[in-house]
Structure 1
Amino acid sequence: MSDPRTELAAAGARLAALGLSPGSSGNLSVRIDDRVLITPTGADLAEVDPDGLSVLALDGTHLDGPRPSKEFPLHGAFYRRDDATRAVVHLHARNATAVSCLPPWSARSAVPPLTPYFVMRVGQTPLIPYAPPGDADQAEALALLPFPLRAALLQNHGPVLAGPTMARAVDAAVELEEVSALLLSLGERSPRLLTPAEADALARTYDSPWGEH
């Protein structure tokens, strides 16, 4: 059985190698029973120490280890939304962050159904109104959204994604960055999007959150 601490550190190294976590930006967490392990404040995801993680209770109380990332309320919001969530990834990836600075495609997804893999691996990704990093009210707004989701874009800030495993959350983060790059490369042109029927069929097949827009 793999060690969650080691998996988290390996995920950080992968995301940094892909250029999705510039400098000391971004933070990762995993849930183990009623505890959350999260990267410390100012951590470089390329060099996460598996034995140097912060330990929090599900309500955000700091239990052990160094001071946690200020973004811990976002992680807690996803863990509260869905008991099956076991990992959360928050990045400042360039293309997804650029899309977070644009008007959203719809109320439920900042990104349209441009590719099947976006619908399959990420699903609807709402734009959460701007707030300073670490803002508890913004996290609460995410927690209370009345429709299913595993990803969101924080306005003028970047993506945050959740998954039942760290591998799934990382894959979703990579896919969101890719579809964001495609969207930006299209500029002002009007691309062909997946039809509602096409997107809904994928969502049903892959158990991905996608709904009425």
Structure 2
Amino acid sequence: MTRFAGMTSLTESRAREEICRVGRSLFERGYVHATAGNISVKLDDGFLITPTDACLGFLDPAELAFVDLQGRQTSGERASKTLALHSRIYQAAAPFDPMTRCVLHTHSTHCVALSLQEAVASHEELLPAITPYFVMKVGHVPLIPYHRPGAVAAADAVAEAIGRYGTSGRPIRAVMLERLGPNVWQDSPASAMAVLEELEETAKLWLGATSPKPCALTEPQIEELRRTFHARW
């Protein structure tokens, strides 16, 4: 049965394998540690999501949780505590990115470290437009004020940000949960991982830059990226 409704027409079996492959890759390269982070993939009758407190480096395809369109888990180990957040992201992103099929959350070190800085915590977004690939591949990353892991209020805040940016013509593909980590979404696990990698690398560059911090790209430079590469900034 082909449940996966994305561009690549993955079967459910292949989607399970991709979640495990991406989880292992992120774990082995240090983007996640211990039992931090979670991954989900949207199917045409629900979605798969990693179990709560599972290590992404050692996932079992058969143990991934399946949740139907009404939010009821029907198989697998107990779903991640971020289930509500993933569900709200799919709902909120649909009008602006109808091909959104994967949500990925990590506790990536440099992104979290950046959100701990007082100067950053007072801003609406995690990072300015300091590199062309951040503008092209990631885009705006709203900073969501701290909520405990799994809090419904966090899901509400993320959905509100997705709607606000989308209706202003600046659809987003990532948010940063203060003190926790980024959530990114794309049309496949591999694509979501690429967005996460670019975001974490940009945070690393910002943290490593000496004072004064680098200036953002100018509006004419960003406009050129919009025209040439359809950057969503």
TM-score, normalised by the number of residues in structure 2: 0.84
Hey, what's the Cα distance between the residues in 1 that align with 2:211 and 2:69? 43
Question: Among residues 24, 38, 60, which one is paired with 1:27 in the alignment?
Answer: 38
Question: Among residues 148, 160, 169, which one is paired with 1:144 in the alignment?
Answer: 160
**What displacement does 1:42 show?**
1.0
Shift in alpha-carbon separation, 1:63–1:209, aligned structure 2, 3 A: farther
Describe the SS at the equivalent of 2:214: coil
Q: Are 2:35 and 2:56, in contact at CA under 8 Å, matched by a contact in 1? A: yes
**What displacement does 1:205 show?**
4.0
Hey, what's the Cα distance between the residues in 2 that align with 1:201 and 1:73? 38
**What displacement does 1:142 show?**
0.8
Question: Among residues 204, 217, 220, which one is paired with 1:194 in the alignment?
Answer: 217
Hey, what's the Cα distance between the residues in 2 that align with 1:26 and 1:90? 5
After superposition, what is the alpha-carbon deviation per residue over 1:48-86, rounded to whole angstroms, capped at 9, x for unaligned? 111110011345322221111101122112201223210
Describe the SS at the equivalent of 1:144: helix
Task: Show the counterpart of 1:119.
Answer: 135
- 1:89 partnered with 2:104: yes
**What displacement does 1:181 show?**
0.4
Report % sequence identity: 37
Hey, what's the Cα distance between the residues in 1 that align with 2:135 and 2:69? 29
Hey, what's the Cα distance between the residues in 1 that align with 2:84 and 2:224? 33
**What displacement does 1:106 show?**
4.6
Task: Show the counterpart of 1:168.
Answer: 191
Which has the higher Rg, Structure 1 or Structure 2? 2
Question: Among residues 154, 169, 178, which one is paired with 2:177 in the alignment?
Answer: 154
- 1:5 partnered with 2:47: no
**What displacement does 1:165 show?**
1.5
Q: Where does the alignment leave 5 or more consecutive residues of structure 1 unmatched? A: none
Hey, what's the Cα distance between the residues in 2 that align with 1:137 and 1:20? 25
Q: Are 1:78 and 1:85, in contact at CA under 8 Å, matched by a contact in 2? A: no
Task: Show the counterpart of 2:66.
Answer: 55
Q: Are 2:52 and 2:80, in contact at CA under 8 Å, matched by a contact in 1? A: yes
Residue 42 of structure 1 aligns with an amino acid whose one-letter code is D
Residue 7 of structure 1 aligns with an amino acid whose one-letter code is E
Task: Show the counterpart of 1:41.
Answer: 52
**What displacement does 1:104 show?**
4.9
Task: Show the counterpart of 1:75.
Answer: 86
Describe the SS at the equivalent of 2:63: coil
Hey, what's the Cα distance between the residues in 1 that align with 2:76 and 2:216? 46
TM-score, normalised by the number of residues in structure 1: 0.91
Hey, what's the Cα distance between the residues in 1 that align with 2:51 and 2:100? 20
Q: Are 1:150 and 1:209, in contact at CA under 8 Å, matched by a contact in 2? A: no
Task: Show the counterpart of 2:77.
Answer: 66
Q: Where does the alignment leave 5 or more consecutive residues of structure 2 unmatched? A: 1-8, 166-170
Number of residue pairs the alignment of both structures matches = 209
Q: Are 1:59 and 1:76, in contact at CA under 8 Å, matched by a contact in 2? A: no
